[in-house]
Amino acid sequence: MVSPSQSFNKSFRKVLLYSLCASIHWPAAGEIVIDGVLNEQQWDDAKKFEQFVTISPLTLGPARYETIALVATNEKGIYIGFKNYQPKLSDRTKRVYARDMKSIYSSTDSNQVYIGFDEGSNIGYSFIVSSANGQRDGILSPGNFSSSWDGIWTSATSADDQYWYTEIHIPWSVAPISQKSGKKNITFMFARLVHSKGLRFAFPNTHYSKPSFIEDWVPVEVTPKQTKSFNYSPYLALKHKMFSKKTTIPDDEASIGVDFNWTPTLGTEIIGALKPDFGQVESDDLVINFSAIETFVDEKRLFFTNNQTIFTNSIPTRGWTRETILHTRRLGAGQDDNGSPIQIKYAVKAIHQSDQIGLGIFAVQEESDGAILNNRFFSTKFNNTLGRLTFGHQITYADIRTEHRTARVDNYDFELKPNRTNRFRGALMRSDLRDQDPNMTPRITDYAGWLDWFYAPNKNWEHKITAVHYGKNFDMNDMGFMLRNNYNSVFGSTSFVETQFGERSNLLSTETRFSFAYEENLNNQRLLQRFYLKKSWNFLSTRIVSSQLWANTESWNDLETRGNGIFKQPENVGGGVSFSGLRGGSIFHDGGLSISHNKIDGVTKSISYDPKIYLSKTTQFTLGLKYEITDSELIWNSGNQILSTFDTSKYITNIRFDWYPTETQELRFKLQWTSVSADAIESFDIKSNGNLFVSSHSPTDFSRSNSGIQIRYRYKIAPLSEIFFVFSRGGDYTSSFAHESLGRLLNRGFANRDNEGIQLKIRYRF
């Protein structure tokens, strides 16, 4: 006889079983399952693209290995499949990397698909999947590619003796799509990297440097499904301070926040955050910078990287540093006047894409314990595409209430592609600064602008020239990032790539690039005149060797003294070589050396070596070493307000260890150490004609050593749902002696703690 309790338990188990079965998504018959195996009926009916060409080296000849890309769509989104013929297993490179690491693009076999969700737009979304199913995504916009965006999409890979395969599902909600009923065209570009051979294939016949790159993508007719979605990602972070020189930081701190995404209709997305945090819990790199130019620091917070492209603009510069009118690392950073850390209370942005029109609104409110009034930041963006012309207007507005002032910047930009070989870009900017302090100028306005022309008549030649003007009082640094104002500049380059060689040649390609730059301030004083020549050889063995020569003529320096005078700099000449070793092996060698000379600094020598050691497909060790010595480096002493020369030695060390024990776990060890030893030589004053003469002031020797250690464990629960456990420690050591031994600098840089702590963070996406 069955008791009532046994009957109840049996019934309860049945109900629980039925509930679990109902909650599980069982694929419908014939539905594509993302498992890396292209065996569903939909793949037989999918659109097929197989005429791949070689784009690295840029021969545009047929791909050496058969590559087939497949595209299928339904109400759930876009499905991409790749079939990669590569029969020799020893030629395959399968390495595991964390999401969004650049190595997924460059250091392992991979497939890539670019998608233009609105045909005719100049925005493209990139999705890369490695043969080990590593993922990297990003957004391509005029003059800029950002990998900081993280979309929600899935992938899987598989392999047999002849092929390896990739299967990707991209939901319609992954990016704003113009609200247009019925069928429409979206565009695709497919690529594949064969790492061990240094070969990259693509379809259609186009490449990244072409002015018409996005325009060349192949259109596919689809019917996007109107979707409504709401996702939110709360997080909890617990921090324990083991040591800190900053007394305002509490011993224990708990913070709670949330990021959310709402897509009410196709083409519209609202993204918000309460107390947004640093998503991946990554530390910034240590740098040695004695110049008057600020160092650019990348954004890592989820809110500021999620579909931020409409607010992103890329201002061309003659170096690697970026300039932009909206630099989000300015927001929620630093300390208030009472030493309390400034944080973000809330942030929200709305994006709407309709046909060829894009609209964006952005707002951020700061907060700190020591402030009565908190700063507010706003931005709006409008852009429109009419055929080959795209134009737009962006406003940034900073209400710096803690300083009783405001700062507004207007940016009017355009991009014109009259044909497939030419591209013109430009912008006109205006800054308007208003201050309520009676001791300050109540209102300052000024202008800046730039014009850029890119011409690529064929696959071998590229030409580019840019003109820039920044007014004396133009300033966008309250919300943006710029190197300086008060200058005019013209810079450009010409490059030639050769890919045709004799049968006995051991070369894949060569590139010759000549560039120049001229810059002067608005007092017509030349700040820079530079000529640069680079030659690169890409060998069949996958080795790469490059050589560089450069020359700078005599010029003026109006920044180094921080407003305390302008002086003449002598001409500078130099050269260098760099190399990259064989690909596909267990050790990858990379390094270089350079030497330069001018009459003040004397000789500067630099050598670097950056090997990567692949202990297994799931374990990598990376080492970065750089050593630089300068006979008499000219450095501004802010304390004594004087220029001095020092015999300097600089060491930069980066060590990184990555281990991926499973697909959901990652352990990373990251160590950075920088040091400089400076043996004082003499000081200088500035004559009225700008020449330097020896001062009676005697400079003081100094040494500095900085260190940073981070040990980070990451467990992936689901896409954008993670648990982090992090130990971090920073060291800072300064002395008034130049002849500190390398061992002592290393020891004191780590022993003299600046901060130390642990952090637990949990983030889950619902």
Smallest CA-to-CA distance from 345 within 329, 366, 369, 363 is with: 366
Smallest CA-to-CA distance from 261 within 307, 301, 300 is with: 307
Q: How sure is the predictor about 20, in pLDDT bands with cuts at 50, 70 and 90?
A: very low
Distance, CA of 411 to CA of 481 (rounded, Å): 14
Q: Give residue 359's identity as a one-letter amino acid code.
A: L
pLDDT for 329 beyond 50: yes
Distance, CA of 418 to CA of 388 (rounded, Å): 6
Mean pLDDT of 354-368: 88
316: which strand partners? none
At 22 the three-state DSSP class reads helix
Say how far residue 462 (Cα) sits from the centre of its chain: 24
pLDDT digits (tens, 9 = 90+) for 512-565: 999 999 999 999 999 999 999 999 999 988 899 999 999 999 999 999 998 888
What pLDDT is stored for residue 696 in this prediction? 87
Residue that the structure tokens 């784009």 belong to: 55
Mean pLDDT of the chain: 88
In this structure, are residues 498 and 536 in contact, taking their beta carbons and an 8 Å threshold?
no
Mean pLDDT of 303-316: 83
409: which strand partners? 396, 431
Q: How many CB atoms sit inside 10 A of residue 481's CB?
A: 20
What pLDDT is stored for residue 482 in this prediction? 92
Distance, CA of 527 to CA of 555 (rounded, Å): 5
State the sign of the Cα–Cα–Cα–Cα dihedral 213, 180, 263, 168: negative
What pLDDT is stored for residue 24 in this prediction? 41
pLDDT digits (tens, 9 = 90+) for 387-405: 889 999 999 999 998 888 9
What pLDDT is stored for residue 742 in this prediction? 84
Secondary structure of 73-129 as H, E, C letters: EECCEEEEEEEEECCCHHHCCCCCCCCCCCHHHHCCCEEEEEEECCCCCCCEEEEEE
What pLDDT is stored for residue 110 in this prediction? 95
Distance, CA of 12 to CA of 380 (rounded, Å): 56
Smallest CA-to-CA distance from 410 within 436, 389, 431 is with: 431
What pLDDT is stored for residue 743 in this prediction? 87
What pLDDT is stored for residue 9 in this prediction? 47
Query: CA torsion 668→671→672→678, rounded to 10°?
Result: 180
Q: How sure is the predictor about 343, in pLDDT bands with cuts at 50, 70 and 90?
A: confident
pLDDT digits (tens, 9 = 90+) for 652-704: 999 999 999 998 999 999 999 999 999 999 999 999 899 999 998 889 999 99
Q: How far is CA 419 from CA 143, 365, 422, 455, in A?
A: 17, 44, 6, 10
In this structure, are residues 618 and 96 in contact, taking their beta carbons and an 8 Å threshold?
yes
What pLDDT is stored for residue 49 in this prediction? 96
- At the topology level of CATH, where does 41-222 sit? Immunoglobulin-like (2.60.40)
Q: How sure is the predictor about 741, in pLDDT bands with cuts at 50, 70 and 90?
A: confident
Please provide the DSSP assignment of 261-315 as one string. EEE-STTEEEEEEES--BTT--PPPP----SSSPPP----BHHHHTT-GGG---B
pLDDT for 2 beyond 70: no
At 677 the three-state DSSP class reads strand
> Could you tell me which residues come within 8 angstroms of residue 609 by beta carbon, excluding any fewer than 6 positions away?
589, 590, 591, 623, 624, 625
**pLDDT above 70 coverage of the chain, percent:** 92
What pLDDT is stored for residue 342 in this prediction? 82
Please provide the DSSP assignment of 442-497 as one string. SEEEEEEEEEEEEE-SSSSEEEEEEEEEE-TT---TTTSB-S--SEEEEEEEEEEE
**pLDDT above 90 coverage of the chain, percent:** 55
- Predicted model pTM: 0.85
Least confident span in 276-290, 350-364, 542-556, 645-659 = 276-290
pLDDT for 51 beyond 70: yes
Please provide the DSSP assignment of 341-364 as one string. BPEEEEEEEEEEEETTEEEEEEEE
Least confident span in 192-196, 654-658, 712-716, 737-741 = 737-741
At 10 the three-state DSSP class reads helix
Pick the more confident residue, 464 or 12.
Answer: 464
Please provide the DSSP assignment of 174-190 as one string. GS------S-EEEEEEE
pLDDT digits (tens, 9 = 90+) for 578-624: 999 988 888 999 999 999 999 998 999 999 999 999 999 899 999 99
Secondary structure of 586-635 as H, E, C letters: CEECEEEEEEEEECCCEEEEEEEECCEEEEECCEEEEEEEEEEEEEEEEE
In this structure, are residues 47 and 72 in contact, taking their beta carbons and an 8 Å threshold?
yes
pLDDT digits (tens, 9 = 90+) for 68-85: 999 999 988 899 999 999
Distance, CA of 317 to CA of 517 (rounded, Å): 10
pLDDT for 175 beyond 60: yes
Mean pLDDT of 14-37: 57
In this structure, are residues 593 and 576 in contact, taking their beta carbons and an 8 Å threshold?
yes
Question: Which range is most confident: 97-101, 136-140, 350-354, 703-707?
Answer: 703-707
Pairing of strands 144-146, 357-367: unpaired
Omega prior to 341 cis, within 30 of 0: no
DSSP-derived secondary structure letter, 161? S
Mean pLDDT of 97-113: 89
Q: How sure is the predictor about 18, in pLDDT bands with cuts at 50, 70 and 90?
A: very low
Distance, CA of 21 to CA of 281 (rounded, Å): 37
What pLDDT is stored for residue 371 in this prediction? 65
Q: How sure is the predictor about 181, in pLDDT bands with cuts at 50, 70 and 90?
A: low
User: Domains of the chain: which residue ranges?
Assistant: 41-222, 278-290+564-766, 493-559
pLDDT digits (tens, 9 = 90+) for 188-239: 999 999 998 889 999 999 888 888 888 899 999 888 876 778 888 899 989 8
